[in-house]
Amino acid sequence: MTVMRTSEQDGFQTIKRWLEDRCAIHYPDHKRNLLQQRLARVQRSFGMPDFAKLAYEIMQAQNHEVQLAVMHAASTNHTYFYREKDVLEHFLGNVLPQLAQRNEIRLWSAACSSGDEVYTLAIMIAETLGMDTLRRTTILGTDISAPVIELAEKGVYPARHLEQVPAHIKSKYMQPVGIGHFQIVPEIRQACTFRRMNLKTTPFPFRKPFQAVFCRNVLYYFTHQDQIEVVETIADHVEDNGWLFTSVTESVRDLSPRWRQIISGVSRKRGVAT
């Protein structure tokens, strides 16, 4: 572990607390080095001498550009298309058939990063229920990081994000744009909307409930209490008997009695039996 001066230590702890209070992003002690590395990149990019200066810009100066950069650095997570296929297979086999006859399909990908998951869901719907189904489908992707939302809206991805995509899907829904990059076809992009959103900021700005919410590979960034609050608030915006998809390593079993775990990574909101 890197040894830091007292002022550096204080600055690092200030930033760490700010991330927890403002964004609910929690780095446990065993991930301390990872957070230091990510913050160091921000520090260098803005030409700051140390974490003390970085903390000052965030807290005292309220430098919005620096705040956004720190949020982005701390929340960035590696993502790719068709991640955790077992969870997606459950959505394909158990949820999509129930949504096939709905007048409107409403899905939300919380902490969507660069949008890989959002477009994966849209492609699965197009392949399973037909491209016309996308006309009555709304898939919302939200993330705290403005830069990744901008990337998601463009829908352009390097080949490494597409390694799990079957060849026939890639050729059908992704167009080559430049060397080693591909863009999602317009018909898929039109069903997907992206917005910047902090899961810590409540109430959520939704007027209509979702049938399913994907909140994968994000809960482990939160403290236990923040996990409870996020899962509870998500339940407020999901239909009775609706679905919550998390990572297979993230269980909501002990976070809220409103959710019943079906399999690892898949829970269903309690409601009137169907």
Tens-place pLDDT, residues 204-261: 999 999 999 999 878 877 888 989 999 999 999 999 999 999 987 788 888 999 999 9
Q: What type of residue is 193?
A: T
Residue 3, pLDDT above cutoff 80: no
Q: What type of residue is 262?
A: I
Residue 76: what pLDDT? 65
Residues 146/75, Cβ–Cβ less than 8 Å? no
Report residue 5's pLDDT band, with 50, 70 and 90 as the boundaries: low
Q: Mean pLDDT check: name the lowest of 4-8, 9-13, 66-70, 182-186.
A: 4-8
Rounded to whole angstroms, the Cα distance separating 82 from 162 reads 8
For residue 272, with 0-12 CB atoms within 10 Å meaning exposed, 13-18 middle and 19 or more buried, which class applies?
Answer: exposed
Q: Mean pLDDT check: name the lowest of 135-139, 146-150, 232-236.
A: 146-150
Residue 70: what pLDDT? 84
User: Model's pTM, two decimal places?
Assistant: 0.81
6-75 under CATH 1.10.155.10, yes or no: yes
* Residue in 199, 204, 201 with CA at minimum distance from that of residue 215: 199
Which residue bears the tokens 């992206």? 194
Domain ranges in the chain? 6-75, 85-269
Residue 1: what pLDDT? 46
CATH architecture classification, 85-269: 3-Layer(aba) Sandwich (3.40)
Residue 188, pLDDT above cutoff 80: yes
For residue 225, with 0-12 CB atoms within 10 Å meaning exposed, 13-18 middle and 19 or more buried, which class applies?
Answer: exposed
Contacts 24+ apart (CB under 8 A), 198-206: 198/22, 198/23, 198/144, 199/24, 199/110, 199/111, 199/144, 199/230, 199/233, 200/22, 200/23, 200/24, 200/226, 200/230, 202/229, 202/233, 203/233, 203/236, 204/233, 204/236, 204/237, 206/108, 206/237
Give the DSSP H or E segment for 239. strand 238-245
Tens-place pLDDT, residues 153-177: 999 999 999 999 999 999 999 999 9
Tens-place pLDDT, residues 195-220: 999 998 888 999 999 999 999 878 87
Residue 269: what pLDDT? 96
Which residue bears the tokens 């959505």? 91
Report residue 119's pLDDT band, with 50, 70 and 90 as the boundaries: very high
